[in-house]
Amino acid sequence: MTAEATDSPSAPAVPSTPPVAPSPPSSRELLIRESRVKEIATRGVYVYGPLLRAWHWITVVCIVTLVVTGYLIGAPPPSIGGEASDHFMFGTIRFLHFGSGLSLAVGFLFRIGYAIVGGSLLREIFLPRVDRKRFRRDLAAELKWYAFLRSEPNPAVGHNPAAQLIMLVFFTLPVTFMIVTGLALYAEGLGQGSALDRLFGWVGPMLGGSQQLHTFHHVTMWALVIFAILHIYAVMREDVLGGQSTLSVIVS
């Protein structure tokens, strides 16, 4: 009778799998956390709320109306025969200009207040974070992207660094200047001693007189026209080449 072996060879010990370290967050995830915006299930980021959209499109309507009527005020159309009370064409042009200008000013004040109480994304066009090293690094990368020296842009939530600086220099500051000079011009029509004259009557003399005030106001209008053209090009370019929904989300 053969005795059975009682000791069987022990199975080799299976080494335990070390825990996998979490991967560092991507640039996009860091931007989402920093911006504190609501991230939806599709991994998109909800940036432009209804109030911001309303302000954007009201501003667009105001600027288009101001540009057209402002040009006609600077280069009036030919006179129309008959009594002025029968058509009042130039009076209508002036009324549309003044009404749009005051609407733009009220909307801009709302936008400043909204930036104060809102998140960091709402303050981008007023206070670009040029003090941050990452901002300057991303700015250089974005400028290369706009110059067709890079194949794709950096991920961004809201405006990228280049767009923030462009919005500040070619939109925020010119619109502020247009509102101040426009109210100063309107104060001239109201006369000395009026409320607007007390608030903005100093603007004309500071710029060299009434004619210089008109000239600076008119030249800044053309700066806004150039900005509008570049702005439309840039957002369409981001949608088509950059794969970002900058234009789509403000329209749809």
Domain ranges of the chain: 45-77+88-251
Task: Return phi, psi of residue 59, to 5°.
Answer: -65, -40
Q: Which amino acid, residue 80?
A: I
| Helix axis angle, 210-240 to 173-190, nearest 10° | 150
What average pLDDT score do residues 141-161 get? 82
Query: Of all helices (H) and strands (E), which one includes residue 45?
Result: strand 45-46
pLDDT digits (tens, 9 = 90+) for 63-97: 999 999 999 998 888 877 777 777 888 889 999 99
pTM of the model: 0.78
Looking at the predicted structure, is the pLDDT value of residue 161 above 90? no
Higher pLDDT, 175 or 141: 175
Spatial separation of the C-alpha atoms in residues 128 and 145, rounded to whole Å: 19
Spatial separation of the C-alpha atoms in residues 128 and 163, rounded to whole Å: 10
> Helices H, strands E: what count in the chain?
10, 2
Looking at the predicted structure, is the pLDDT value of residue 2 above 70? no
Tell me, what's the pLDDT at 1? 46
Residue 171's CB is within 10 A of a number of other CB atoms, namely: 18
Which residues neighbour 71 within 8 Å (Cβ) at sequence distance 6 or greater?
221
Burial 40-66 (b: 16+ CB within 10 A, else e): eeeeebebeeeebeeeeebbeebbebb
Domain 45-77+88-251 bears CATH identifier 1.20.950.20:
yes
Spatial separation of the C-alpha atoms in residues 126 and 16, rounded to whole Å: 54
Looking at the predicted structure, is the pLDDT value of residue 154 above 80? no
